[in-house]
Amino acid sequence: MEETKRLFKKLKITTILELALITPTSYNDTTLSSEIIPSKIGTFEAIVKEVESIGGKLRVSFWLSAFHQPLYATFFRTTPYHYGLFRVGSVHIIQGRVEVYHQMLQMSQPKSLKEIGKITPKYKTVLKESEMRALMETYLHRQNLLREGLNQSEAEKIIAIHFPPHKEAILDASGLRLEMVETLKFVEALNHLKKLRTKRVNYPAIRALNGDTSPFLERLPFALTSEQNQVIDAIRLDLAKSHKAAKRMVVGDVGSGKTMVILASVMMALPHKSILMAPTSLLALQLYEEACKYLPPTISIALAMQSRAEGNFESADFVIGTHALLYKEHLPEVSLVMIDEQHRFGTQQRQQLEALSNAQEGKRTHTIQFSATPIPRTQAMMDSELIDVSLITTTPFVRDVTTISISKPDFGKLLGHISLEIEAGHQVLVVYPLVEESDEVPYQSLEESRGFWEKRFEDVYVTHGKDKNKEDKLLEFRQKGKILLATTVIEVGISLPKLTLIIIVGAERMGLATLHQLRGRVGRNGLKSWCYLYSHSTPNERLREFADTTSGFDIAKLDLKFRNSGDILDGTIQSGQRFRWLDMAEDEAIIAKAKERLNVSIR
Ligand code: ADP
Ligand code: MG
C-alpha cells in the first residue's frame, strides 16, 4: 500500500481511473511476421548458419525458414553471452528492423526473443517498465474498474488497452481505435467529475428564504423571458432550503437580463436582508438606479460606495455596493449575498467576498454570483459539480448587430458611416489596444489618435483604465457625448443605450471573449448596430468566424477551438482543466453520460 502510494505520487496520479488513463505509447509485438517489409520491424524464426567475429563485431548469417532466404545480422555491442547464444544450427526468434543492402536482407543488433505471440505495452513514464506492469496488473482488473463506475464493456476496453489480446483489437491504421478513444474520453470525464464532486462542501444556511416575488413581477413593464423565469425558479428552490446554503452561478450573455434575476432574489429574501456587490462604482450606481426603478417602493434600498452613499445602510432591505463594503466595520446581518460580474473581481477579492457569507456556528448565507463571461456548456456541466450553474443563453431583445472585418482601405467608408450614426443621434465607441504608443503594437494608440477624432468630430470623450475620472466621464458621455475613445476598460457592464457603432482597433490581438463583451456594448435596446473589427491582418479566420457567431455560448465554443490552435488570447475565460482525450468543444454528449453515470451510482 505504501509502495503503491509512492508510485502513484511519482506518476502524479491519485485514482485507479487515472492509472487507466496512462496509455501505452507503443506495443511490442512478438507475433511472427507473415511478410518481410523493408525498413519495418519484423519478427522471424531464424536458424544460425554461420558466425563470424570481425574486429569486435559479431556477424551472424541466419536462414529465415519461413521465407527460404538468408538474413545477415550484425551485433556491434557484443558480450560473451552473444557468442554462447548463436551457435551454428541453433534456432532463434529474432526481432529487428529489416534493411535491404545489395539485395540482401540485413538486420543490426536484432533481439533474440524467448516467447512469441505476445503483445507487450510500452509506457513512457518516470517509473521502470516492471513497476508500471506491476501497477497495471494489480489495479486494472474488471472488479476495480466496475467499482470505479465503468460498465462491463468500458472495463473490457480499458483492459484491452493495457493487456491487448492482439494488436487488431486496439489499433487500426490511424492508431488507437475510435471506440477505445471514446472510452478513454469517458473515463477522463468521469474521473474529473468524481474528483470535483468530492471537493464540494455544503454548509447549512442561516435560514430558509421564501419571500413572495409577485409584487415585483406584477409591476414589471415587460414579461420575463422563459430562461429568466427558469433561473428564478431554480433560485427559489435553492433559497427555500435551510440545511444547505445556496451556492449558484448564473452565467448569461451581456444584456441577457441578469439584473431582473437579482431583483427577484431580493424579493425572495424578504423580510430578511440582501447585499449585492459590484466590481465598479459605476456599475453599482446603475444597479441602484435599476433597483429603485423596478422594486416595489415599500422596499428600502441603500447604496454604499466610497464616493457616494444613499439610503440607510444599517436598516435597508437591500444594500448595493462595491468592494468598499468589505471594509465596513458593521455590516448588517444579511441572509443573501449576491455578486455581480464576478469575473471582474480578482482572486484575492473573491476570497474576501467569500468571507461575507460566513455566519455564526458554521452557517453560511445563501450566495449567488453572476457572470457575463459565457462558458461553454461543457464547462458549465463540469463546474456544476462544485457550484450550481444556470445558463441564460437568450436575450430579451433580438439584438441586431452586424459584425464586419475591415482594414486600412475601408477607413474612408467607415468615417462616412460614423457621421450617419451621429446625425441619427446615436453614439460611437472606438476601442484602442493601448493608451500610449508602443513598439510592440503595430496600431495607433489612444493618445496618438485622439487629435484626429477631435479635429473631425464634436463631443469626443476619452477615457481608459488608469483615468481617475473614468466614471464621471462615462456618465457625462452617456448624457451628451458623440464619440468615445477608450481602451477595453469599457468592458465593464455599464449600459450606453444609444451606442450603435463600435470599432475595435487591432481586433485580432484580442481574445474572443473580450471581443464578444465589447460587441455586447452596442445594440442594447434593439437599435440596429454595427461592430467593426479593424485589423492589419485580414482576412483572419478567427475574426471571420467570430463575425458569423452571435451567441456568447457559441463564442465560448469557438474560443476552445482556436485556443487549441494557439492564437494570442487574453485568458478571460478560465480555461480550467486541460484534458488529454476529452475535447471540451465537441464532447458534450460524453460529459453528459459521465454525469448521468455518477448520479446513478450515487443514488
Ligand atoms: P445583463 O446584466 O445580463 O447584461 P441587464 O440586466 O442589464 O443585462 O439587462 C439588459 C437590458 O434588458 C436592461 O435594459 C433591462 O432592463 C432589459 N430587460 C431585462 N429583462 C427584460 C425582459 N424580459 N424584457 C425586456 N427587457 C428586459
Ligand atoms: Mg449586469
Indicate which ligand has the atom closest to the C-alpha of 227: 1
From CA 454, how far away is CA 460, in angstroms rounded?
6
User: Domain-by-domain residue ranges, the chain?
Assistant: 2-29+117-176, 41-112, 214-392, 401-549
Question: Under CATH, domain 401-549 is a member of which superfamily?
Answer: P-loop containing nucleotide triphosphate hydrolases (3.40.50.300)
DSSP string, 133-174: HHHHHHH-SHHHHHHTT--HHHHHHHHHHHS-SSGGGTEETT
Q: 214-392, which class in CATH?
A: alpha beta
Spatial distance between the Cα atoms of 455 and 284, rounded to a whole number of angstroms: 35
Q: Quote the pLDDT of residue 42.
A: 92
Ligand 1 within 6 A of CB of 521: no
Q: Which CATH superfamily is domain 41-112 in?
A: Nucleic acid-binding proteins (2.40.50.140)
Ligand with minimal distance to 282 CA: 2
Give 454-459's long-range contacts (Cβ < 8 A, gap of 24+).
456/415, 457/418, 457/422, 457/482, 457/483, 458/482, 459/483
396 alpha carbon, closest ligand: 1
Residue 568 is predicted with a pLDDT of 30
DSSP characters over 524-567:
TTS--EEEEEE-SS-S-HHHHHHHH---HHHHHHHHHHHHHTT-
What SS3 class is residue 314?
Answer: coil
* Residue 222 CB–ligand 1 contact under 6 Å: yes
Question: Would you say the CATH fold of 401-549 matches that of 41-112?
Answer: no
What percentage of the chain reaches a pLDDT higher than 90? 56
Of 43-47, 261-265, 287-291, 579-583, the range with the lowest mean pLDDT is 579-583
pLDDT digits (tens, 9 = 90+) for 325-358: 877 777 788 999 999 988 888 777 877 777 778 8
374 lines ligand 1 (CB under 6 A): no
The best mutation among 220, 222, 280, 342 to test binding of ligand 1, ranked by most ligand atoms within 8 Å of the C-beta, falls on 222
Side-chain half-sphere exposure of 283, counting CA atoms within 13 A:
20
DSSP H or E run through 423: helix 411-423
pLDDT for residue 106 is more than 90:
yes
What pLDDT band is residue 603 in, cutting at 50, 70 and 90? very low
Q: What is the pLDDT of residue 569?
A: 31
Asked if 242 contacts 204 with a C-beta cutoff of 8 angstroms, the reply is: yes
pLDDT at 489 over 70: no
